[in-house]
Amino acid sequence: MNVMAKAEKKISSAFIYFFGSFGGILFGYDIGVMTGALPFLQADWHLENAASLVGWITSAVMFGAIFGGALAGQLSDKFGRRKMILMSAIVFMVFSVLSGVSPDMGEASAYYLIIVRMLLGLAVGAASALVPAYMSEMAPAKARGRLSGLNQTMIVSGMLLSYVVDFLLKDLPGEWAWRLMLGLAAVPALILFLGVLRLPESPRFLLRKGDEAQARKVLSYIRKNPAEIDQELASIKETAKEERQANQKTSWLTLFSGKYRYLVIAGVGVAAFQQFQGANAIFYYIPLIVQKATGQAASSNLMWPIVQGVILVVGSLVYMWIADKFNRRTLLMVGGAVMGLSFILPAVINWMMPNMNPMTIVVFLCIYVAFYSFTWAPLTWVLVGEIFPLAIRGRASGLASSFNWIGSWLVGLIFPIMTASMPQEAVFAIFGIICILGVLFVKTCVPETRGHTLEEIEEQGTNHGRVKASNPEN
């Protein structure tokens, strides 16, 4: 036992935060890898004119993630964040390999790959729900925005990694290229599994299960001041005590009770808007977007995903620099406004100047990606991790993640169908309008969370619910 305790004391806060957020690499790699694999897969399986089938192959992971996020969120309340992250890594490894060895059976191959990628999506969705919750529960309030932003840095680093892998493998024979691109996703999953084996459980989860001694030990790894540890433990215990006194038994209906409704709508709404704004249409289909704009073959445009990936990584680092200097709401509204204009202006310019340079739309997409990278991309997961009260955090994070993946799935599924039936500029203009609606949602429905403890945020939501209950006409 003493040996175990000494081993645990050697866990540094840097190690905890690094591997606590490393699940984002899996999330990001699988978002990005199909971008490069798809042109080769289309050619190998002769799917160039099968827009709906291409949409399903691309979006199958997101469809599975809808259920993975909700399931993992619920199970993490019972078994803990750490154990569920480990399980997600195992599932990710298995189905990444099965994707890479898809049998060549004609049209049946496509359906096999769709099913395998749906099952892979369970792990991707789980990671998207578990990592923000874990990181927010480990990070101190004053640095929660920056440390939770590590999740976004990991996601975009995973995307950039997949783009680079796609580019390096593009000269292989077509069948080998896409198979290796998909199968190599098992490598970061193995690294995540080995790293998380040494991670401690969340102190908030431990206290909820009555293990105060272990919760204090975990906080000692990541808080330097003993007084701060005592204060945080007392605050978490007080929240847990209030929940026990109310003899609260949470269910899915609990999320929309008067006490929690305001915060749940805010968190789930932001998560949904992030995807319906259309970012993943760029990330999944940028080679095909450039092909449609310029006429160049998609397989020769694999440098563009790398450009997008570099912008995303730089933007995530910019976010970590400004995260705790600006209010969350301000960044979301400014970012959403610029993103909306970046989508709408190409349609306006094309309407006024029909002979517009086709690369103009790609330039505006880069502007969109730049602002998305340090506003909506990281802040969505920061808010999802910090806005939900402890009693419902697992379920609510899972619900937000599921709505996020519903948006991602629908965008991935319908984008190739939409661009086959209307100009690209019109499709992006529709996404631009959704961006502006997202700004209005943040302005009217989302509270400010920067600098507040998780318990203070919960009190905000409770007080808002009481005001609404006493003033129903408002």
CATH of the domain at 340: 1.20.1250.20
Residues 68 and 84 sit within 8 Å (Cβ to Cβ): no
Residues 236 and 257 sit within 8 Å (Cβ to Cβ): no
pLDDT of amino acid 462: 67
Q: How far is CA 73 from CA 191, 256, 297, 378, 424, in A?
A: 22, 17, 41, 19, 37
Q: How far apart are CA 172 and CA 365, in angstroms?
A: 29
Across 293-315, b (16+ Cβ under 10 Å) vs e yields beeeebbebbebbbebbebbbeb
Q: Is the dihedral of CA 450, 452, 453, 458 positive or negative?
A: negative
- Is residue 436 included in any domain, yes or no? yes
pLDDT of amino acid 144: 64
Give the range of the structural domain holding residue 59, as residue numbers without chain letter: 13-470
pLDDT of amino acid 180: 93
- Is residue 4 included in any domain, yes or no? no
- Is residue 2 included in any domain, yes or no? no
- Is residue 1 included in any domain, yes or no? no
User: Measuring CA to CA, which residue among 431, 452, 441 is closest to residue 333?
Assistant: 441
pLDDT of amino acid 329: 92
- Is residue 3 included in any domain, yes or no? no
Looking at the structure of the chain, the number of domains it has is 1
- Is residue 430 included in any domain, yes or no? yes
Contacts of residue 355, Cβ cutoff 8 Å, sequence gap at least 6: none
pLDDT block averages, 10 residues each, the chain of length 474: 44 81 85 85 82 85 84 81 90 94 81 93 84 77 67 85 90 86 92 90 83 84 79 78 57 77 91 92 84 69 86 90 85 96 90 80 90 91 80 78 84 87 88 96 89 73 56 44
pLDDT of amino acid 284: 83
- Is residue 413 included in any domain, yes or no? yes
pLDDT of amino acid 469: 42
- Is residue 84 included in any domain, yes or no? yes
**The model's pTM:** 0.76
pLDDT of amino acid 240: 66
Q: How far apart are CA 17 and CA 260, in angstroms?
A: 29
